[in-house]
Chain A
């Protein structure tokens, strides 16, 4: 996740009188249609970014000609095989350096590639931004301009539909309660700045800090929900843990067998764990059986326990298995300590035998639910899969397929807001005066404008007049 973070490139100061120093990226083909998707980049960093992504150096190939390439993200992971074409400034659509990367017509690939470009320093283009730049650089002739007008209206409809879809879930929904909070915080700040000679309550830095940390929880949750969506592509790891003889291996086999879409079944590299992959409502899941969790004497076994811990630490979810047919013993509790703070489900296995244990002792902070199963008979496995899916599944799969760019823009917006809020927290900590906190909060509001709607000064002023008795 971290290396996916778009790095806003510091704009060089004293650069030619030019505000648009960013490099923008967007699909140049309508979302979700056609056999080929084209990703277009424009701006000063276009060539370095495209070169990193395609391995093709623009100075080694002819301009305006298609070159075969393998498209990779910044980590070197392969996205697709495709084509790339470079248009050096000024002979390009926008008049800036432009590159187009042709991919197979799969929206997930396009999003991945766009996200990769962002991670390398590009920002998602605003609607119509390519045309705007083209225009500002004097690059449009009459026919192009007419054709573009059609395209933009078409795009607006599409954008409206995409926005509606966004409303069903995902970032927008996660972020919308933020609006009211930002307005009310700004109201407080601006009231004590603009009406300080009126008789109104003052805000303290501590109050601001508290409110901002509330806001940051929301942006944080939203960034996390994107990370979840990411599992759609990258897959998730589910560890199976517990002491020996509670039925872990059998459970693994049952899960792999239950899901017909087994991709691989790889024997473990050590004798201590096995793993396999299944696809659960579209999310590739890697299931890993760990060695029994107990302090061991035998060095080989000890190594196994160490590895198990590592797997649990890196897993998106751990299934902690108990033998439900016998009472809990000290070993179970000790093993549980290893998973208690990580996201986990408590499984009471062996439901085919008379149940004794209820799992009531296992209440770690990371616990999501308790599920009863029988790995032997398959009883309860459906419920288990649903529980896993609930926890890991992409909440926004529909959106991802249909509006990749909008989503990416929104994510970018949330990130910017989060950064600005972080600055506000820091400023409050340093006891800077209110106007600096207000500047940061306003910047956050500005960043989110596309999701929450613009928060205009008029709206804040109205809120002030409504809530405070202003005026001498």
Chain B
């Protein structure tokens, strides 16, 4: 086929209009790069493949971080969310997470509109078959219509589409996601370029017709009132909020499931790809936890203008007849009609140890990967990588150093470091327990951690940055007031504390000391001192955290600081890990596979001992001396 070279060369070419691709394209374009987004179907830009919700434990943190950098996900869900909830409020300030149900169609339409209205960003419908590379550098992409789009950088954000294979019972067919074309050629092109490509699996639930559900037999679950927005730039949510409904499976459901296991692609060995353990199908749960009498099912609306419901908890790839039978045993679903069956999907992914922490590939220069192609799962994980890849592609075009995120700075840092250091053996999702400095990585301080970076790279909008600076200044002045003010004799604050059940307050007691008492809140202090009325509730509650848990926070900060030093000792790109003296073969193999960028990263590769690290330091020094001698 003769190739038509598209006459315009772009700075950044993004392949894929999912959650990673949208953030990447927006970031690059907002940073001033001429950007092209290519996607198989322009109608499915920003479509949620699976559940109609954004956020959740640890995922809410990622959304806030994306927002703090200047990404779109937080604003998009704020504009289209139909039920907002704060999870884990009793477990502690740092593990509190936001989650929201989205109107799936509105979510996608708004995202598409934002892309279309972004200056310098072109959106085109195309199936990309190959990455075009010369001399180890990506130069553009080739599409199935024989069009070559040239780009200085190329970002692949292809999700579950690479050789996607959908399974429903023993029936299977190629698809990028149910109802979408698969990308059958792109992963072969990557193999030819030298990438190692693996196979993973995930699954989703059937979608149900809401008018056939008897909601009176289920328990409604409402969101928070008032709903709390995700974006630091939003004060309130205006859209009317709706309920979800809770019901349960029962022994008859489990029996129906067991009756279909012989025709399950999972249990009959048809599916080879590895699925996520944290997101098991209902058949998996029933088999592995046989003595559990019932499992939760949450009925989540797919939107305001559709009757479809998403029954969270019954992801399945059982045959269609079993899906019908199984669902109709569930209370409230006795007469349910399925709109779309549940299914499993196998897809190619590219092992992320082949990336450096900027998300550029080690194999092909100027080529970046983000999202599910890297073995992750989840919209938020995808979006977070998208922002980083978009920023760093733009930085490459601008001739600037990449922006890297520390583990102690952001969940984004934890996510990317885990991926590039340990690879993905199963679909990776974020958990708060993956972060060693969890107390530092809170939703409430994502802006303090990242907005400076968002501003510096030119992604965060100017007015957002101004708001952020005002907040930061307010916070530091409130903290210093708390640290230095004392309660004068007869002050109403003393009385207020005593009335709230606290021990008597001696005159001269510091505000901070008072705040460290379990029964005293910052709100109480602010309410009783008119000088503090000017601080916003966010600033007040954040100051409270910082003062109350000062000991814990400071300990983690000190740990983090200690380790950061090792992140700063970098290996040159061509460092010969193969020939470092004294390393065991096992350790050497690991180092060669990962090619860590810093001593810090090397230390985190499982199996790399402190002695090996010392040897690396020595070799690094030797190498440096040798270059100096020759240069």
Contact = CB atoms under 8 A, between A and B. Distances in A.
B250 to A, nearest CB: 14
Interface in B519-556: 549, 552, 554-556
Interface string B40-60: 000000000000000011100
Interface stretch (B173-181, B284-292, B351-359, B499-507): B284-292
Contacts of B564: 19
Contacts of A159: 611
Interface centre among A436, A443, A469, A471 (most CB of B within 10 A): A471
B614 A128 contact: yes
A353 interface: no
Contact of A196 (B88, B555, B621): B88
B278 A199 contact: no
Interface stretch (B142-150, B164-172, B430-438): B430-438
B621 A433 contact: no
B433 A472 contact: no
B312 interface: yes
Given A18-B565, A20-B565, A439 B438 contact: yes
Size band of the A side of the interface? 35 or more
A397 interface: no
A131 B616 CA distance: 11
Contacts of A193: 57, 88, 91-92, 95, 432-433
A134 to B, nearest CB: 9
Contacts of B615: 128, 149, 152-153
Contacts of B285: 469, 471
B296 A155 contact: no
B391 interface: no
Given A136-B569, A436-B552, A471 B279 contact: yes
B295 interface: yes
Interface stretch (A94-102, A137-145, A311-319): A137-145
A465 B298 CA distance: 21
Given A196-B87, A471-B279, A131 B617 contact: yes
B614 A131 contact: yes
B114 interface: no
B313 interface: yes
Interface centre among A127, A194, A195, A465 (most CB of B within 10 A): A194
Contact of B90 (A194, A198, A433, A436): A433
B277 interface: yes
Interface stretch (A75-83, A273-281, A388-396, A453-461): A453-461
A160 to B, nearest CB: 9
Interface string A179-194: 0000000000010111
Given A131-B617, A190-B433, A465-B278, A472 B87 contact: no
B124 to A, nearest CB: 36
A166 B280 CA distance: 42
Nearest to B425: A458
B562 interface: yes
A102 to B, nearest CB: 24
A198 B581 CA distance: 49
Q: Which label, helix, strand, loop or mixed, suits the secondary structure of the A interface?
A: helix
Interface in B573-618: 581-582, 606, 609-611, 613-615, 617-618
A196 B57 contact: yes
A439 B556 contact: yes
A192 B91 contact: yes
A11 interface: yes
Interface in B412-444: 422, 431-434, 436, 438-439
A442 interface: yes
Contacts of B277: 462, 465, 470-471
A469 B289 contact: yes
Contacts of B618: 131, 135, 140, 145-146, 148-149, 152
B448 to A, nearest CB: 18
B625 A145 contact: yes
Interface string A118-130: 0000000011110
Interface centre among B56, B561, B569 (most CB of A within 10 A): B561
Contacts of B3: none
Nearest to B549: A436
A195 B288 contact: no
B94 interface: yes
B24 interface: no
Given A19-B564, A197-B87, A470-B278, A461 B431 contact: yes
B626 interface: yes
A135 B563 CA distance: 15
B583 to A, nearest CB: 9
B552 A199 contact: no
A431 interface: yes
A129 B581 CA distance: 18
B240 interface: no
Contacts of B91: 192-193, 196, 433-435
Nearest to A153: B582
Contact of A142 (B295, B569, B626): B626
Contacts of A431: 518
Nearest to B94: A435
B611 A152 contact: yes
Interface in B156-206: none
B622 interface: yes
Contact of A194 (B57, B315, B613, B619): B57
Contact of B625 (A11, A142, A436, A465): A142
A142 B622 contact: yes
B558 A11 contact: yes
A260 interface: no
Contacts of B436: 442, 457
Nearest to B281: A471
A442 B555 CA distance: 13
Interface string B270-305: 000000111110000100110010011010000000
A132 B617 contact: yes
A204 interface: no
B620 interface: yes
B92 A436 contact: yes
A19 B582 contact: no
Interface in A281-330: none
Contact of B614 (A20, A132, A196, A471): A132
B610 A126 contact: yes
A271 interface: no
A60 interface: no
B443 to A, nearest CB: 13
A433 B438 CA distance: 14
Given A128-B614, A193-B433, A149 B625 contact: no
A223 B249 CA distance: 51
A33 interface: no
Contacts of B562: 19-20
Contacts of A190: 431, 433
Nearest to B414: A457
A149 B313 contact: no
Contacts of A148: 614, 618
Given A19-B564, A469-B292, A435 B613 contact: no
B565 A457 contact: no
Given A136-B569, A197-B57, A471 B280 contact: yes
Q: State the 6 A-B residue pairs at the shortest beta-carbon distance, nearest first.
A: A128-B614, A435-B92, A19-B562, A433-B92, A153-B582, A469-B289
Given A128-B614, A156-B609, A190-B431, 20 more contacts: A11-B558, A127-B611, A142-B625, A152-B614, A153-B581, A156-B582, A190-B433, A196-B87, A199-B296, A431-B518, A435-B439, A436-B92, A436-B552, A439-B552, A457-B431, A457-B433, A465-B278, A471-B285, A472-B296, A472-B312
Interface of B: 56-58, 87-88, 90-95, 276-280, 285, 288-289, 292, 295-296, 298, 312-313, 315, 422, 431-434, 436, 438-439, 518, 549, 552, 554-556, 558, 561-565, 569, 581-582, 606, 609-611, 613-615, 617-622, 625-626, 629
7 contacts: A13-B554, A129-B614, A141-B625, A435-B92, A457-B436, A461-B278, A470-B277
